[in-house]
A and B are shown apart, each in its own frame.
Chain A
Amino acid sequence: MKKISVLLMSLFLLAGCGPAAGGPVGDGNKAEGDTIKIGMNMELSGDVSAYGTAEKEGITLAVEEINANGGVLGKKLELIEKDNKSENGESTSVAANLTSRSKVVAVVGSATSGATKASIPNMTRAAVPVITPSGTDDSITVFNGKVQEYAFRACFQDSFQGVILAKFATDNLKAKKVVIIGDNSSDYAIGLTKSFKKTYQGTVVKEETFTAGDKDFQAALTKIKDLDFDAIYLPGYYSEGGLIIKQARELGINQPIFGADGLGDEKLAEIAGNKNTSNIYYTGHFSDKAPATDKVQPFVAAFKKKYQKAPSAFSALAFDAIYMLKQAIETQQSADSKAIVEGLKKLKDFNGVTGVMTMDENHNPEKSAVVLGLTNGKETSAQPVNP
C-alpha cells in the first residue's frame, strides 16, 4: 500500500513540474471561410443580466446594420452568442469555448469588469482580442503595471469617472461637503469611490456602504439625514441606486444625488418614481440631448425601430465596440485575430455613438465625458466635463 502511494505521489509531482498555462499558444485565429466570426461573451442570465442583454441588443443591431451594408472586407459578420450567467467561472469557460471551438477572431464582452477579467487568461492563451463595452475597472487593460496585450475597452475607466465626478461636484454642484453612499460589493463601485476621494477637494462628511442586492436603506439614510452636506455621491448600479433615491426623497432628503454610468438606465426612474428622480446626475456615455457625434441620432432611431424602446448607454457602447472592430479590420485589411489586435491598438479618430475615440497606449479610449441631469425622471441637462 505504501509503495503504491509513493509511486503515485512521484508520478504526479513529476507531471506537475510540466509547463503550466501562461502566454499565448499559437498564432491566434485566422479569418477563414466566408464569414468573419465574432464572439459575444455576455451576462445574459444571472444578477447583472440587464446589462448583458442591453449590450446584446446593441451588438445585434450593429452586426445587422453592417451586414446589410455589405459586411466587412466583403464578408458578412457572423455573431456567436454565449451566456456567462454573470459568473466569472463561466466567463472563463465561454472564452475558451469561443476561441478554441468556434474559432472566433474577436470577442465583444463582458458587461462587467469581473467577468471580463476572468476571460482574459483564455483570450490571451488563444491570442484573440477581447473588447469590453462597459468594463470600467482599470486593471482590465493594465495589470501590475503591464498592458494586457489582448484586452481593450470601448468605455472610459473608473479612475477617469471618479475624477470627472469630483470636478463636477465642486464646479457645477458647488458642493463643499458631500456624503458618500457607496456600493462596496463590486470592484466597479469601489474603484469609483477611491478615485473620487482622491480628486475631490471638498470634505467627505460621512461614508456609508451597502451591498448589491440590498433593498432597505432606511437605517443608513436615517443616519445621514440630519447631517450638514451639499450633495450625495452614489457610486453603484441602478437597481440599488433607484431604491436609494426613492427612500432618500421619501425621508425628505432633497440634496442633489450624483453618480457614475452604472446609474444610467431608464429603470432608475422606474424604480425611484419619476417625481423622486429630480436633481439626479450621472456620467453618461452618450446623450441624445447633447449628441457627441452625428452617429447618435441615426443610432437612436434605428434602435427604437428595432426594439421599441430607447437605447441605454450599454447598448450604445456595445454598438460602438462592433464598429470599432470593423474599423480595426479595415485599416489592417485583414480579419485575423492578431491583425485585429494591431488595428485596435492603432485606432484613431473613431467616430462612434459614444464619442470620438482614439485608443491610447494602455488600450483605453480617449474620449470626453458628459454629465447628464434628470428632472422628473427625464433627461433635462447634459454638461460636458473635461478632466
Chain B
Amino acid sequence: MKKNLKYNALWLLFAVVIYGLIYLLYFTGVITPFTEYTLIMIGINIILALGLNLIIGFAGQFSLGHAGFMAIGAYSASILSIKFPTMGGFFLGILVGMVIAGIIALVVGLPTLRLKGDYLAIATLGISEIIRIVIINMGTLTNGPAGLFGIPPMVNWPLIFGFVAVVSLVIINYIRSGAGRATQAIREDEIAAESMGVNTTKYKVIAFIIGAVTASVAGALYASYIQTITPKDFGFMKSIDILIIVVFGGIGSVSGTFVAAIVLGILNMLLQDAGALRMIIYALALIVIMIYKPGGLLGTWEFSMKGFVTRVNKKEETADVSTKREKSN
C-alpha cells in the first residue's frame, strides 16, 4: 500500500489540477453557458461510457440497453426533485433511481445474461425499449410521452466533476480487484473460466448491475441539468451514442473512454450545425474502426500513472548516465 500511495497521491493531484483548470476557465469567462453544456455532457457521458465499458469491454457482454437504465435514474430523480425541490430531495431521487435500476438489472440480468453475443444485444435492446414504453404509460406519474418539465436544477459542474471522480474510482478499483479479474476471465473465455471455478453468472450480473446503477446516476444528473426529459430522449439512439464512445475509445480501455468522451463531446459541439451529416460521419467511422481495429481505437491500452512516472524517471536516469559519462570522458 505504501508503494502505491505515491501513485494514488499523484492521481489525486492530477484530479485537483483538472478541477482547478476548469475553475480557472469559468472564472476567466472562457466557459459560457454554451460551452458549459458541452463540458457537463462530457462528464455525464464519461459516467455512462465507463458503465457500458465495464459491461461490454470488461465482462464481454454486449448490452444495448444502457438508455433504459439512464431513463430510470432520470425519471426517479426528476419526480422526487419536483416533489421535494431541495438538494436532499434530489439525492433521494438519485438513490431511489439507483435502487430501482439495480433491482431491474438483477431481475432482468439473471435470466438474460445466459444469452450470447447478438441474442444478448437484441434482448437488452428489448429491455431498454420495454422500460421506456412502461415509463410512457405510467400516466400522471411520468406525464407520459410529454415528459417532465421544470425539473429543479440541482447540479453544477463541481457536482458533476465529483460524481465523475467517484464513479471512476469505483469502476477502476472494481476492475483491478479480484472480482474484476474474474470478470475479465469471463470475457476471454467463458467456458474456461467456468471450468476454473469462476461463478460466471455472478460476475456477469454484478457487472451488469454496476453498469445499470451508474447509468441511472448519469440519467439523474442529465435530467437535473437539462430540466426537461421526455421518453424520446432515452431511445435506442442514446444507447448507440454511448456505444460509439466506448468503441472509439477502446473496448476495455478506461483511459480510452475518457479520451473518447472528451474528443467526441468537443466534436459534437463543433459539428452541432451539421445535422444528419454528423451521424453519417460517426457511422462511417464506426464501420471503418470495426474493420481495421475491432478492439476500438485505443484497444485495451491504459494510461498508467506508474508507467508514466517510471518513464520520466528512466529519462532522468539516462540523462544522468550520459552526463556522468561525458564528465568521465
Contacts and interface: CB of A to CB of B under 8 A. Distances in A.
Q: Do chains A and B touch in the complex (CB under 8 A)?
A: yes
Contact of A9 (B15, B87, B166, B233): B166
A125 B33 CA distance: 9
Interface in A96-117: 96-97, 99-101, 114, 117
Given A19-B156, A88-B147, A118-B228, A11 B33 contact: no
Given A7-B12, A8-B15, A83-B273, 13 more contacts: A8-B169, A9-B162, A15-B156, A16-B155, A16-B156, A45-B275, A89-B226, A117-B228, A121-B153, A125-B33, A144-B150, A186-B145, A190-B145
A367 interface: no
8 contacts: A4-B8, A15-B159, A18-B158, A21-B153, A21-B156, A92-B37, A92-B226, A211-B145
A114 B153 contact: no
B45 to A, nearest CB: 12
A187 B159 contact: no
A12 B158 contact: yes
A53 interface: no
A118 to B, nearest CB: 4
A44 to B, nearest CB: 7
Contacts of B154: 20
Interface of B is mostly: helix
B275 A97 contact: no
B162 A93 contact: no
B226 A5 contact: no
A85 interface: yes
Contacts of B227: 92, 118, 121
Interface residues of A, number: 50
Given A12-B158, A88-B226, A89-B226, A96 B32 contact: yes
Nearest to A190: B146
Nearest to B9: A4
Contacts of A4: 8-9, 11-12, 169
Contact of A16 (B32, B149, B162, B229): B162
Interface in B251-284: 272-273, 275-276
Contacts of A144: 150
B226 A16 contact: no
B36 A88 contact: no
Nearest to B161: A12
Given A12-B158, A15-B158, A87-B233, A101 B153 contact: no
Contacts of B149: 117-118, 139, 143
A101 B34 contact: yes
Interface of A: 1, 4-5, 7-9, 11-13, 15-22, 44-45, 82-83, 85, 87-90, 92-93, 96-97, 99-101, 114, 117-118, 121-122, 125-126, 137, 139, 143-144, 184-187, 190, 211
A144 B166 CA distance: 36
A178 B189 CA distance: 63
A135 to B, nearest CB: 12
A375 B149 CA distance: 40
B87 A88 contact: no
B173 interface: yes
Nearest to B269: A93
Interface of B: 1, 4, 8-9, 11-12, 15, 19, 32-34, 36-37, 87, 136, 143-147, 149-150, 153-156, 158-159, 161-163, 165-166, 169, 173, 226-230, 232-233, 272-273, 275-276
Contacts of A8: 12, 15, 162, 165-166, 169
Contacts of A143: 149-150
Contacts of B145: 184-187, 190, 211
B234 to A, nearest CB: 11
A124 to B, nearest CB: 10
Given A18-B156, A21-B153, A184 B147 contact: no
A373 to B, nearest CB: 30
B201 to A, nearest CB: 29
A9 B163 CA distance: 9
Nearest to A13: B162
A304 B12 CA distance: 65
A1 B248 CA distance: 30
Nearest to B16: A11
B275 A83 contact: yes
Contacts of B230: 88, 114
A184 B158 contact: no
Contact of B272 (A5, A97, A126): A97
Contacts of B162: 8-9, 11-13, 15-16
B161 A1 contact: no
B163 A96 contact: no
A197 B275 CA distance: 40
Contacts of B8: 1, 4
Contact of B159 (A12, A88, A126): A12
B37 A101 contact: no
A341 B226 CA distance: 24
B33 A99 contact: yes
A9 B161 CA distance: 11
A83 B274 CA distance: 9
A77 to B, nearest CB: 20
Contact of B165 (A12, A99, A101, A125): A12
Nearest to A84: B272
A93 B158 contact: no
A380 B143 CA distance: 38
A12 B275 contact: no
A44 B150 CA distance: 25
A232 B56 CA distance: 50
B228 A88 contact: yes
A11 B162 CA distance: 7
B312 to A, nearest CB: 22
Nearest to A117: B149
A122 B12 contact: no
Contacts of B233: 87-89
Contacts of B229: 88
A20 B158 contact: no
A21 B33 CA distance: 10
B195 to A, nearest CB: 33
Nearest to A188: B146
